[in-house]
Structure 1
């Protein structure tokens, strides 16, 4: 795993650093994602599952979990149902083998959830939640974390790459 982190650091494009994007690699579950500029670390899970970042009223949560309720598709369905129970109006949903995206609104909040399958019956996610007033600032940032959320090298659970966020 240390080799993965070492390779990850040295293979990231220099432009990611120049523009203020910060890599986050999770050694416990073996995944990585790029954190947008302006987001600062607020909390790290004691058990190594992930982190929470903030930028004003915007919150970015990044974590992984074991699939305890069944398959990857079951995990996505469970997340979707949880959002619906909370009252989210899901206006965008896409799912393929190994990845899914959910997006919607609740009152004055916008949510984007990306989830990918990992090896060893696990899944990694990021959720970006922000107020409508920050839409112009936050919407353009979603594409890069979507493209950068990936399993560790050698994990083939998430086959192929997903299309860019819409």
Structure 2
């Protein structure tokens, strides 16, 4: 019987086992986000303010930055315009005090960008970009990423009241 159970456990696919996620913490800018299981660190910014992760053809970029003009709204508008110039068809665009979400498609790819305001005129973002063929696998991760992207303790922003991703 033990041998049968051991063989059964060995034959189960890896996702059947609990996989732990990694927490990326940026102490300098004051934010954290949970990196979903299966994503591998590919590159870290020279400044230490961001990372790129990959899972197959999916890419997850996480970073923080100082707001050039000090206004969160200007940062979001700049990102939105950059996507439009690149040809992204933005189908979801929602902005509230302290957070914004943009999602769109381009040539068979899907993009979801979440940006939150941080303290000290800074912002944190993640961008998840993946082929449409991975939509079923990646879509559930968006909500988890949205919920996990948080300012550091003591930095209160409207992000804490933001609704889940749609």
What band does the TM-score fall into relative to the shorter chain?
0.7 to 0.9
- Aligned twin of 1:62: 62
Q: Supply the distance in 2 between the matched residues of 1:145 and 1:100 (Cα, whole angstroms).
A: 14
- Aligned twin of 1:154: 154
RMSD: 1.1
Q: How does 1:63-102 map to 2 (within 5 A)?
A: 63-102=63-102
Q: What's the offset of the Cα at 1:58?
A: 0.2
SS at match of 2:160: coil
Q: What's the offset of the Cα at 1:125?
A: 0.1
CA contact (8 A) 2:22 2:36 kept: yes
- Aligned twin of 2:20: 20
Runs (4+) off by over 3 Å: 157-160
Q: Supply the distance in 2 between the matched residues of 1:146 and 1:84 (Cα, whole angstroms).
A: 22
Q: Supply the distance in 2 between the matched residues of 1:38 and 1:160 (Cα, whole angstroms).
A: 27
Q: Supply the distance in 2 between the matched residues of 1:36 and 1:162 (Cα, whole angstroms).
A: 20
Q: Which runs of 5+ in 2 are unaligned?
A: 1-17
- Aligned twin of 2:165: 165
Task: Sort the Cα spacing of 1:159 and 1:41 in 2 relative to 1 into closer, same or farther, 3 A.
Answer: closer
Comparing 58-67 with 153-162, greater Cα deviation is found at 153-162
TM-score between both structures, scaled by the size of structure 2: 0.86
Q: Which runs of 5+ in 1 are unaligned?
A: 1-17
Q: What's the offset of the Cα at 1:40?
A: 0.4
Bigger Cα Rg: 2
- Aligned twin of 2:39: 39
